[in-house]
Structure formats: structure tokens, C-alpha cells
Amino acid sequence: MTAPFRICFVCTGNICRSPMAESVFRARLAEDGLDGLVEVDSAGTGGWHEGDGADPRTVAVLCAGGYESVHSARQFHASWFAHLDLVIALDSGHLRELRGLAPTAEDAAKVRLLRSYYTGPTADAGPGQESGRTSAPDLIDGLDVPDPYYGDVTGFEECLEMIEEASDGLLAAVRAAVTAPETGQAVAREASQDPHEPREKESA
């Protein structure tokens, strides 16, 4: 594909979870050699913190994890859907709000929950048991990255761990999209395909 694949991570105020996800995923892309093919940024559903840097606790845990933390908060706008391939929501509230904001059904389909890409065992699964997610994970409880804003740094550390785990699955989906022979909308559909839902069979 010639045009860059564009992803925007979205949380509430764009100072905690989404800048954290942006930094982690940008690092994953660089490690995988895809940083020249994929553009990543972040935003918030609200504009309360526009122009502010990331929360100091976000900066602290990112720096401790070896990630970059340069950031300026901004608000997500519906017009952005036109140039984005994926819009990654950090919790189910953002998912609903963003899908409601989408101008078209095709744009709404671009919105995914970050943790829907996590394929490892859940915290409440027994030894050797997988999460059991088989379809429509956006509608299953437990896929939110919780808002750490009102807690201490421990909550930010837990968020970082969740984001890192889910980023591996998201990276795999994006890698498949940008290295596939298809272009344009077909590429976008490849990465926005729910990783836990069966794909439609191609006609012979």
C-alpha cells in the first residue's frame, strides 16, 4: 500500500490512557519495522485538557518502561474519520460515543476496543485456560482499560500492562493489513476485523 495506515487511540481527556497507548504502539511499530507504513496519534472524547501534556503519572510509567512521552492533548472530531483506518477506544464508553459520532456505518466499523485484540488468558481464567472470547468481544464485560486518573501510580502501571498485552494482537492485525496485496478499503477492513469473529469465506 502507498498511503500510510492511520490509527488514532482515544480515551476521555487524552492525558492518561490514550497517550500511553500511542507511545506503546509507536514503539511496537518501530521494533517491527512498520513505522514508515503506519501513522499513530491519540485524542480524547472531550476537550478539557487540550494543549496539555500527558498526566505526570503517565509520563512516569512510560519513562520507566522505556517509552517516549512527548504529548499535547486534543479532542477527537467526527471529520477525522475520513482519513483514519482504525479508531481504537480504551473503554466501552468511548466505543459507544465514537460509534455514535461516526458519520457513516463504515466509519463506525473502524472503531474497536483496544483490549478486543488481546488473545491471552484473562485474569480470572484458571491455569491453562484461555479467555473464552469467541465472538463480538466489544460486547463482553472486562475489556475496558480502566481510567487511572483518580488513583495512584499503581493504576497507571496496571494500565500500561494491559495496553502492552493488547498491543501485540493489534500489531499482528495491522501488520497483516499493511503487508497484504489489497489496498484501500480492503486493507482497512483487514485490520478492523474483529480478531475473535470468524471471517467471511471468500468466493471461489
174, 34 Cβ separation under 8 angstroms? yes
Q: Using CA atoms, how far apart are residues 113 and 170, in angstroms rounded to an integer?
A: 10
Long-range pairs of 169-172 with CB within 8 A, sequence gap ≥ 24: 169/117, 169/118, 169/119, 169/195, 170/25, 170/88, 170/114, 170/117, 171/25, 171/28, 171/29, 171/32, 171/34, 172/117
- Cα 181 → chain centroid: 24
Q: Using CA atoms, how far apart are residues 97 and 45, in angstroms rounded to an integer?
A: 8
Residue 122 cell numbers, joined: 484473562
- The phi and psi torsions of 203 (rounded to 5 degrees) equal -70, 150
Residue 11 designated active-site: yes
Spot the catalytic one: 11, 26, 85, 91: 11
Q: Using CA atoms, how far apart are residues 183 and 32, in angstroms rounded to an integer?
A: 20
Residue 74 designated active-site: no
Spot the catalytic one: 17, 26, 57, 112: 17
- Residue 98 makes CB contacts below 8 A (sequence gap 6+) with 10, 45, 76, 87, 89, 111
Spot the catalytic one: 32, 35, 52, 147: 147
Active-site residue set: 11, 17, 147
